[in-house]
Amino acid sequence: MKKVWRVRKAVTGDVLAQFPEMHPLVVQLLVNRGITTQEQIEKFLTPDYKTDSHDPFLFRDMRKAVDRIFSAAEKKEKVVIYGDYDADGVCASAILKEMLNKVGIEPHIHLPHREKEGYGMNMKAAKEFIKKKFDLVVTCDCGVTSIEEIDALQKAGIDVIVTDHHAEPPKLPQAFAILNPSLKNETYPFKHLVGTGVAFKLTQAVLQEAPSHGISVTQGEEKWMLDLVAIATIADFGDLIDENRTFTAFGLFVLEKTRRPGLKALKEFMNGSLGTISSEMVGYQLVPRLNAASRMDHANTALSLLTETDSVAAFSRAQELQKLNQDRQKVSDKMFQEGKKQFGEKPEEKLLVAVGDGWQAGVVGLVAGKLLHLYHRPVLVIGKQKDEIVGSGRSIQHFDITKALHAVSEHLDKFGGHPQACGFTVKNGHLDAFIQAIKEQAEGISDAELEDELEIDAEVSLDEISWELWEDLKKFEPFGECNPQPVFACKKVVVESMRSVGKSGQHLQIMVKHNSEVIRKTIAFGFASAWAEQLPQGQEIDIAFEVSLNEWNGSRELQLRIVDIRDSKAVHDV
């Protein structure tokens, strides 16, 4: 789809004058992100773990939770960790296990099966914990909605500590303690921690108190767990501001030097090593491998990788994850192509629904995301199994897909999610009625709301892209939610030459000039099919691009990575 470029308003000379030591483009990027004071700038560009990490005891129930854990350790009670099956839940479970081990507790860990048990605690598992006479349950990345299950556990004399980050439900469970920054009455100052971030705050608090209970802990030992916090924050699209930015920045540094044999082994199967790792590498290479475990089999494989201490066994787990990820890619690619066939080249419906027999529930969300990216309109992908119909949805900014599910809930057994992402199970015999009803919910979407918008940080001349600017841009990392990688626009760039690259020639390498005879190299991934025949020498185009580093055979060069191309004669900026 053609994108509508929205170029951010240029900062004024008065603003630039306040920061004369900074590159004007750096000032523009900071202002675009709402960072305008010297204090905000220093905190953003140079995060500090000591000063930018909040006291964990600011959580309303943290003291209760910490005391209960030490009581369990002293009494040698039986403890179980109940996590979630995605990367956030798995990383949180691994951190809690490591923390409990340090205070003398060897916990049992229960991760639910994605398809057989679904998200959150279930009553079957709760009854099993009661039967096995556990004394304490600690949840992570789930629990705040598990009212009946937690009530049953508490009545049976099993205390429950909930660590979660999901939205507050109408009624809270009667747990022994709840650590969730998103609760309305929570006193913790930062509201956007992911599940692993909350588990890490509990870990900080416990290890801080350990010496007073006669337990020797190296000061700052918890920092080695930040690799998992960084992975989870990126995986769960946590806002990379405040504490999340601090944890992720330091976590990526820890990840380069990780002591975990499993992560060391996993790098053997990734494109490149874990050295100089970036948030992009984590999001596109590491996280999919961890999530492949629950999508194709069971999350226990990913947990085993993160907690394994033997390098030989860890390599075996990494091999398993690599195979599962390859299988996931094949399955999701096949489903994606089948979904495209159902929609056609230019679908006109406001909301698209793809349905397939045997489509795996663990993959439908991935496929919905890829189809959303292609068509830029709400997409539901539904798989029909023998005894249930499971779907997942992804949506544009202007359409709350979960709110739409609420409106048609008479056709659903269960559902949940966020404004732009959801999951659901359709009642048997209701599929056709559900599809018709959900499409009616989307009829109010305007054509303007379906436009694919591209946010441009600044319009530049290519001679402004220098090594000096690159060094400044690196200070903006890690990139992610609320801090996307900067996108620049350059107009009336002249094509000097062009060639197709890649195994199947799907990419374009375009040599361009702008306001001088200096030739700059650009790379446009996936643009060959749309532009290979439209870029003759001398053609004037507008390009939107990111600045990246290309390292090859020991050489380094700045690379302009194109994210969109327009004919200069057809410009429609907003």
Q: Give me the pLDDT at residue 272, please.
A: 53
Domain C-terminal end among 223, 250, 265: 223
pLDDT of 573 over the 60 cut:
no
Question: pLDDT tens for residues 14-33?
Answer: 999 999 999 999 999 999 99
**Any domain includes 21:** no
**Do 472 and 500 touch, CB atoms closer than 8 A?**
no
pLDDT bracket for residue 517 (50, 70, 90): confident
- With respect to residue 6, please indicate whether it lies within any of the assigned structural domains: no
Arithmetic mean of pLDDT over the chain: 93
* Domain count along the chain: 3
Last residue of a domain, one of 452, 475, 492: 452
pLDDT tens, position by position, 44-88: 999 999 999 999 999 999 999 999 999 999 999 999 999 999 999
Residue type, 450: L
Contact 505, 473 (CB under 8 A): no
Amino acid identity, residue 5?
Answer: W
Residues 94 and 176 in one domain: yes
| pLDDT (tens digit per residue) in 413-438 | 988 888 899 999 999 999 999 999 99
State which residues form the domain around 366.
344-452
Give pLDDT tens digits for 325-384: 999 999 999 999 999 999 988 899 999 999 999 999 999 999 999 999 999 999 999 999
Same domain, 66 and 202: yes
Distances (CA, A) of 200 to 96, 196, 253: 8, 6, 17
Shared domain for 411 and 502, answered yes or no, is no
- Mean pLDDT of the region 296-305: 97
C-beta separation of 240 from 43 below 8 A: no
Residue with token string 């062009």: 498
pTM metric for this prediction:
0.92
Assign 271 a pLDDT band (cuts: 50, 70, 90).
low
pLDDT band at 494 (very low <50, low <70, confident <90, very high): very high
pLDDT above 90: percentage of residues in the chain: 84
CATH number at residue 178: 3.90.1640.30
Give pLDDT, residue 417: 80
For position 425, which CATH number holds?
3.10.310.30
3-state SS track over 508-543: EEEEEECCCCCEEEEEECCCHHHHCCCCCCCCEEEE
Residue 428 shares a structural domain with residue 490: no
Partners of residue 158 on adjacent β-strands:
none
> Does the structure show a pLDDT above 90 at 131?
yes
Residue at 485 is within a domain: yes
Instruction: Assess whether 69 and 177 both reside in one domain.
Output: yes
Domain assignment present for residue 484? The answer is yes
User: Residue 275 — very low, low, confident or very high, per pLDDT cuts 50/70/90?
Assistant: low
Which of residues 199, 223, 247 is at a domain's end? 223
Q: What is the pLDDT of residue 574?
A: 52
Task: Judge if 489 and 362 occupy the same domain.
Answer: no
pLDDT confidence band for 390 (50 / 70 / 90): very high
What band does 204 get if pLDDT is binned at 50, 70 and 90?
very high
pLDDT value at residue 571: 56
Residues 395 and 515 placed together within one structural domain of the fold: no
- Are 199 and 81 members of one domain? yes
Q: Is residue 266 part of a domain?
A: no
Whether residues 60 and 200 fall in one domain: yes
Q: Are 100 and 125 contained in the same domain?
A: yes
What's the CATH number where 531 sits?
Answer: 2.40.50.460
Asked if residue 140 and residue 64 are part of one domain, the reply reads yes
Q: Quickly list H helices, 363-466.
A: 364-375, 401-407, 431-441
363 and 499, same domain (yes or no): no
In a domain, 231, yes or no: no
Say if 35 falls within a structural domain. Answer: no
Considering the chain, what percentage of its residues have pLDDT values greater than 70? 98
Inside any domain, residue 243: no
